[in-house]
Amino acid sequence: MYNVSVDYEDAVDNFLVMKNLTNNKPCLKLIDLINNPHFESKAKKYIKNKEVQSLTIARAVLIDNNVKKISLNFFLRFNSGKVRAKFFTEYDEAINWLKT
């Protein structure tokens, strides 16, 4: 069961706030998925678009499961795309990785 649902409007709002806060410059992102939010398909598609991705330097993603973390990081080695990304279970590790 999901505690949070992210719809298209949420995704657009998040992007516009990020764009405004960063003065339309690429930034580092820490994404907290520990509470297992549900992303509606239209929101997922929007988040993957070039404009949104172009404002991301690197992405650290927090999750709550070590086994899932290992599996997802392995998968990323083959499907990483242009943006550096890594999954973490510890907040401090994620922040330190983003600083490198």
Predicted TM-score of the model (pTM): 0.85
Q: How confident is the model at residue 1 (pLDDT cuts 50, 70, 90)?
A: low
**Chain centroid to CA 76:** 13
The answer to whether 12 and 46 have CB atoms below 8 angstroms apart is: yes
- What mean pLDDT, rounded, does the chain reach? 92
Rounded CA-CA distance 100/88 in Å is: 15
CA distances from 55 to 16, 21, 52, 71 (A): 11, 11, 6, 26
Whether residue 2 is predicted with pLDDT greater than 70 in this model: the reply is no
Q: Which residue has the higher pLDDT, 1 or 57?
A: 57
Compute how many other C-beta atoms are within 10 angstroms of the C-beta atom of residue 61: 19
What's the pLDDT score for residue 81? Answer: 74
Q: What is the per-residue pLDDT across 38-60, written as a single tens digit (0 to 9) for each?
A: 999 999 999 989 999 999 999 99
Whether residue 80 is predicted with pLDDT greater than 70 in this model: the reply is no
Tell me the percentage of the chain whose pLDDT exceeds 70.
97
What's the pLDDT score for residue 60? Answer: 97
